[in-house]
Amino acid sequence: MKLSEYVTHDAVGLAGLVARGEVTAAELEAVALEAVAAVNPLVNAVVETWPAEGGETAGPAAAGQAPLAGVPFLIKDVGVTMAGKRSELGSRLAEGLIAPDDSYLMRRFRAAGLATFGRTATPEFAYGITTEPVLYGPTRNPWDLGRSAGGSSGGAAAAVAAGVVPIAHGTDAAGSIRIPASGTGLFGLKPTRGRVSLGPDADEIFNGLAVQGSVSRTVRDSAALLDRMRGPESGDPYFAAEPDRVYAHEVTRDPGRLRVGVVAGAGGGRGTEGPVAAALSRTAELLASLGHEVSEATLDLGVSWAEYVLANARLWTANLVPWLDGLAAATGRTVGLSTVQPETLAGYFWGRRVTGADFVRALGVRNTVARSVGRHFLRYDVLLSPTLPELPPRLGEYAEGVEDLDGAGWIDRIFDRSPFTAVHNVAGTPAMSVPLESDAATGLPVGLQFAAGHGREDTLFRLAGQLERAAPWAHRVPGVWAGSAPLDTGRAPAR
């Protein structure tokens, strides 16, 4: 298979070719590595590759049991472990650390037949919304190499957007799937809390804020993979009821007439840039044209913005402390500026001062927000907002003046720059970024966020499928695209 042909297929399409014997898993692996060689020197999305594991037996006989058999796949360097492979979490503190076992999710990736051949970049400890770690350097946006690909699943998003793989693993604790999906023109869905196991090494991450998912170029790929990822494991603290139908079937079903609440105002008073506000308006018009009931809405968190951000700062930073201490003990290194970045170190020291009572109060705020957000879905089936209030920022922009911030100040910066996404992590509700729009002046993608009530990924997949048919996006590709010949490198990489 030629690279120019490979990039025209999504994961479900590639798996179909393998099942019919038209191509082998080994041939797909070879062309995926060719794609890495073509674009990774420009975008810096993939930090390591290895001989593919998981798709070796893919073929017609495996297709029924493993519907994604033979599809080249990348895992994020956090949130999942693969036995015998490095798990460095984007940090010098964990550099060279080898995972002894597969996590539960990795076992499910293998069972799905995915041919995992590498890992993608993440900001240090996934502790940010831009992927610019000191360990491996910045990941660049394939649409504009001087801009961020987002984070924390920025490496995954850049790899998929540039055509390396059709779908890649991601995690999301405050928007880390949806933010890079928005900035790179992809589909990204954050599942309901408890939908996918985080075990066995963790029962929850950031006290239920973090979930596992993926970024993809088509809706059906994300649905097919979530069908293989979902379901509880023994010891999981949360459980989301299994859906009535597989998600892969929901994508083609009519969503019916949905009540859509449009949330235009960002929390904390953050303004929304003109191109994003215009994209939101056009999307509301599209929904109305499709027969949905569209009206303005205001998202009430049940607490003040300041209280909401403070509670998240307490949860995030307190969780950093045992995480970093454990890694320091495992590697024999010391937690300091030689091993972790300034924003991480600030969070670590701030977290050490969070008291037990502070922590319990933060959990109380989490509960209040979850109950308040949940009540909105008694009135609306779906809430629509921008995914981000702005276009992808320039590389280095988020880190300006970071040395002057304490741990709470860094969290405040993240929430200020991404005010729409984290609420659904706190509430545990599913939300997706859909690449419906782009900025006419720059060509940069603009993602729109849709959220539904607890356990209602089915509603989101139905709506996403309808939107994909009504306003297709697959024809839009970035300048850095593995299928281009010769490759259009866009703007020069930032130095």
Catalytic residues: 76, 152, 176
CB atoms within 10 A of CB 59: 18
List C-alpha distances in Å: 468 to 78, 387, 461: 30, 17, 10
Cβ atoms of 374 and 158 within 8 Å: the answer is no
- Exposure b/e, 382-396, CB count within 10 A at least 16 = b: bbbbbbbbbbbbebe
3-state secondary structure of 24: coil
The residue count of the chain comes to 495
Q: What is the rounded distance in angstroms from the CA atom of residue 297 to the CA atom of residue 42? A: 41
Tell the residue number behind the tokens 């660049």, with chain if given. 140
Cβ atoms of 46 and 33 within 8 Å: the answer is no
Burial environment of residue 274 by CB neighbours within 10 A (0 to 12, 13 to 18, 19 or more): exposed
Q: What is the rounded distance in angstroms from the CA atom of residue 493 to the CA atom of residue 1? A: 30
Q: What is the rounded distance in angstroms from the CA atom of residue 195 to the CA atom of residue 485? A: 41
- Partners of residue 213 on adjacent β-strands: 170
